[in-house]
């Protein structure tokens, strides 16, 4: 079987790193894209330890020239792009929406929405040249319901779902499969740093009574990026212990 090539944005931490490790175990060539050189290079090291070929590309997904760079560099290194986990994102400082500064609102839009669009723009162009591929965009539970104090975040994640659905309608016949995931709160490094009481309160609000673990999200992303999910297209998959059901 031909070796597949994947690009993972936000691959230096959290979901991105977990997905990288799962794809590495399948022997995938991997481009790790992240702002953080230290974390991105650490993911590359972990992937290589699992026997795959991996490179780190330092890039800011909110800068169109950086996005073109990570796409071009991946194609120059591995020849093509089969899989794309369009995942890098940030949340927000947790204030009521009108108290969010214009600067912070713009930054969240630049990374969470424009960054996802730029990635789709250049990656889909490459996939069209090579006969197709599979894409997973990271939305959020906050893309399906409004999260008070995370207005900009919720707005951009709703927008990621809109982009996913629109583009799925455009490229399915050209063998490009595109889905979105909507994770609930997961114990990534950021959440783990919260006070114990805050974590317990968040867990209580989830029907399953606990927060998610990054590998539980990565399991779904790996499935969506594999041929096992060959007829899932334009879907938004919740991974949230039932939180969206309330
Ligand atoms: N953790 C959760 O509970 C949760 C829930 C729902 C959705 N999400 C979404 O999942 C995605 C990944 O989150 P995570 O929890 O793994 O976070 P994380 O902070 O652990 O990882 C995100 C990575 O993205 C990188 N990054 C941030 N801005 C960037 C930029 N402009 N350019 C390139 N890289 C950048 C960071 O350096 C970091 O390595 C995000 O889109 C987030 O909104 C997370």
pLDDT tens-place string over residues 48-66: 999 999 999 999 999 999 9
* CA 143 to ligand 1 centroid distance, Å: 15
Is the C-beta atom of 138 inside 6 A of ligand 1? yes
* CA 153 to ligand 1 centroid distance, Å: 12
Distance, in Å, from the CA atom of 154 to the CA atom of 139, rounded to the nearest integer, reads 9
pLDDT > 90: what percent of the chain?
94
Which position among 70, 153, 194, 231 bears the catalytic label? 153
**Please, what are the domains in the chain?**
5-234 (3.40.50.720)
Do the beta carbons of residue 245 and residue 182 sit within 8 Å? no
Q: Which residues pair with 84 in a beta bridge?
A: 7, 135
- Sign of the torsion angle spanned by Cα atoms 67, 72, 30, 53: negative
- Which regions of the chain are under pLDDT 50? none
The pLDDT score that the predictor gives to residue 1 is: 66
């Amino acid at each position: 079987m031909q070796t597949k090539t994947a690009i993972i944005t936000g691959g230096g931490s959290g979901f991105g790193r977990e997905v990288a490790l799962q794809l590495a175990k399948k022997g995938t060539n991997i481009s790790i894209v992240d702002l953080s050189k230290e974390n991105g290079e650490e993911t590359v090291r972990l992937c290589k330890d699992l026997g795959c070929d991996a490179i780190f590309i330092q890039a800011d997904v909110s800068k169109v020239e950086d996005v073109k760079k990570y796409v071009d560099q991946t194609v120059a290194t591995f020849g093509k792009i089969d899989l794309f986990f369009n995942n890098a994102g940030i949340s927000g400082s947790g204030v009521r929406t009108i108290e969010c500064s214009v600067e912070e609102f713009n930054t969240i839009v630049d990374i969470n929405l424009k960054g996802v669009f730029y990635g789709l723009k250049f990656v889909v162009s490459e996939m069209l040249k090579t006969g197709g591929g599979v894409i997973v965009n990271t939305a959020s539970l906050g893309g399906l319901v409004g999260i008070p104090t995370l207005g900009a975040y919720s707005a951009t994640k709703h927008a990621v779902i809109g982009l996913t659905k629109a583009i799925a309608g455009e490229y399915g016949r050209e063998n490009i499969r595109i889905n979105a995931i909507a994770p609930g709160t997961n114990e990534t490094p950021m959440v783990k740093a919260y006070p114990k009481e805050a974590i317990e309160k968040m867990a209580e609000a989830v029907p399953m009574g606990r927060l998610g673990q990054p590998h539980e999200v990565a399991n779904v992303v790996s499935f969506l990026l594999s041929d096992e999910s060959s007829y899932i297209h334009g879907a938004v998959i919740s991974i949230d212990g039932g939180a969206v059901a309330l």
